[in-house]
Amino acid sequence: MRVTFWGVRGSLPSPLTAVQMRRMQRKLLQEIRLRGLPGPEEEERFLDGLPAPLRGPVGGNTSCVQVDLDGQTFIFDAGSGLHPLGQALMDGPCGRGQGRLKLFLSHTHWDHVQGLPYFAPIYVPGNRVEVYSGFTDIAGRLALQQRPEYFPVPLEAVGADLTFHQLPAGPALELEGGGAAVRVRAQELHHPGGAYGYRLEADGAVLIYAADSDYCEMNRADLDLYCEFFQGADLLIFDSQFSFNEARARADWGHASAVLGVNIARQAGVRRLALFHHSTDYSDATLHDLCAEAAAYRNLYFPDCELEIFLATEGLFLELGANTL
């Protein structure tokens, strides 16, 4: 199972600003003063050894994660990160009208669907895109955002074959196609207007995509439900839009925090926690601080816990499972 993050922000695309860039440049200069200018053959090692906020931007696109499995491509959410993913896919079968894609939508807030009209593979006849969500009216919702008032090309006029499937919360769906057996299960999340998380099992690995949910004011039974859904995941992609204090103050806004992610992931026996759906109001430096705080919280309260915690960043690539290519 190969996982690539194409969009990691929540709410709005958030490109790096010139002021933020200059701040990073200043910090880089400080590092060079401290460590000395590397020779040409040491450049890569020097760059790899920089503090995390200086190794690259967190990224500005909204939610989109690609999972490749033995020739099958799964996409979780269609935020603005879907655009660069589409450009990359056009170099393969999608560019020849032979693409077969499965797109799972958590919900239809803008930051999760705004990339679809700019997704090049849907304009190529012959491509097939199967869209899954927990909602019964997903086709109508997506058509709405491509009405002429909002976008020049209606959804019905795109060249690819788009089909829509409801995947309600409950038993796992067995998906055929390609070499790997794949099971996908949906779970309703706690978010204004509703949202769904997905559990993908294949290739000896388990991935959970759980964007946009809060876990506040839940009783033990509710939390147990999520722990069961997340149980034993190799990777949990978790909405950590808020700081700990913000999550408490905005309990009904439908987003969680990194610290809460640590608690739930630990209880569910998750191996790796990807902090995701970053606030558009937070700089890269703040996001790295929040990630470090979550790791410090784990170390303080659960010193034996081996949960790996990291920031989901645009372009991050991970391999899960035994049979990865």
Q: Which of 10, 13, 117, 261 binds Zn ion (CB under 5 A)?
A: 10
By CB under 5 A, which span of 9-17, 167-175, 217-225, 304-312 interacts with Zn ion?
A: 9-17
The tokens of 21 are what?
């860039």
Closest approach of Cβ 95 to Zn ion, in Å?
Answer: 30
Taking the least distance from each CB to Zn ion, the nearer of 107 and 298 is 107
Q: How many CB atoms lie within 10 A of CB 308?
A: 14
Applying CB under 5 A, which of residues 9, 83, 102, 109 lies at the interface with Zn ion?
109
Q: How far is the CB of 75 from Zn ion (least distance, A)?
A: 16
Closest by Cα among 237, 251, 240 to 294: 240
Closer to Zn ion by CB, 10 or 261: give it. Answer: 10
- The smaller minimum CB distance to Zn ion, of residues 111 and 314, is found at 111
Q: Is residue 9 near Zn ion by the rule CB under 5 A? A: no
161-166, strands of its sheet edge to edge: 161-166, 128-133, 100-104, 72-76, 64-69, 2-7, 317-319
- By the 8 A CB rule, do 245 and 259 touch? no
239 binds Zn ion (CB under 5 A): no
Given a contact cutoff of 8 angstroms between Cβ atoms, the answer to whether 275 and 291 are in contact is yes
Site string for Zn ion, 65-104 (x = CB under 5 A): ----------------------------------------
Q: How far is the CB of 262 from Zn ion (least distance, A)?
A: 21
Q: Residues touching Zn ion: how many (CB under 5 A)? A: 4
CB of 185 to Zn ion, least distance (A): 20
Q: φ and ψ at 264, to 5 degrees?
A: -70, -45
Tokens of residue 30, six digits: 């400080």
In angstroms, the CA 240 to CA 277 distance is 6
In whole angstroms, the minimum distance from the beta carbon of 15 to Zn ion comes to 17
Q: Which two tokens stand for residue 177?
A: 């196609």
| C-beta closer to Zn ion: residue 110 or 151 | 110
How far is residue 20's CA from residue 12's CA, in Å, rounded to a whole number? 17
Q: Per CB under 5 A, which of residues 199..238 are in contact with Zn ion?
A: 212
Nearer to Zn ion, 212 or 214 (CB): 212
12 three-state secondary structure: coil
Q: Is 111 in the site for Zn ion (CB under 5 A)?
A: yes
Quick one: how far is CA 246 from the chain centroid? Answer: 21
> Which residues lie near Zn ion (CB under 5 A)?
10, 109, 111, 212
